[in-house]
Amino acid sequence: MGTFSKSLASIGGFIAGDFDTINWLRHTCRSYIFSASNTPAATAAAMEALHIIQQEPERIEKLWDVTRYALRRFREEGFEIGDTESPIIPLYVRDVDKTFLVTALAYNAGVFINPVIPPACAPEDTLVRFALMATHTNEQVERAVVALKKIFVEQEIIK
């Protein structure tokens, strides 16, 4: 199973398996029953993203370099990020109202983050996602970490 939305800048995803498994999923998974096929445009976008990854592997290394930098900086500044190693970094807020507030304050400070609230998570596990791309620089990450630290401290989420 894989997603096209996070890793390949498209929408949808896929599940690969033998005939019996796929047939069982088709008839028993509620989320699948009412879904539609990927659009040709989304499929083409995912395919082109795969071609770029194959032809320009340096993008992957750049993404991991900036990810390691961001993970280190968020941990150094006291953010709760769990045991993640992903370019999509969770910054735990643990309060639904503050999650929305932090998202808005970050946007006003020039930092785009996405809120994650129930039912996507338990009420005590709300968070914002800090998503990186290979085109981000360490300087951009540093600016975002500083801005988010100020917001999280002001909202008494971290010290």
User: Any idea what the Cα angle at residue 95 is, between residues 93 and 101, rounded to 5°?
Assistant: 75
pLDDT on residue 76 = 98
Q: pLDDT digits over 76-111, tens only?
A: 999 999 999 999 999 999 999 999 999 999 999 999
DSSP bridge partners of 115: 128
The whole-angstrom separation of Cα 148 and Cα 74 is: 9
Strand, helix or coil at 53?
helix
pLDDT on residue 127 = 98
The whole-angstrom separation of Cα 38 and Cα 54 is: 22
| Cα torsion 121, 123, 124, 128: sign | positive
Contact of 123 with 98, CB cutoff 8 Å: no
Give the global pTM: 0.82
| Cα torsion 95, 100, 105, 107: sign | positive
Strand order in the sheet with 88-92: 88-92, 127-131, 114-116
Residue with tokens 């914002």: 128
Residue 33, pLDDT > 70, answer no
Residue 124, pLDDT > 70, answer yes
Q: pLDDT digits over 35-70, tens only?
A: 777 889 988 998 998 999 999 999 999 999 999 999
From 122, 119, 142, select the one nearest 130 (Cα to Cα).
Answer: 142
The whole-angstrom separation of Cα 16 and Cα 86 is: 23
pLDDT on residue 12 = 81
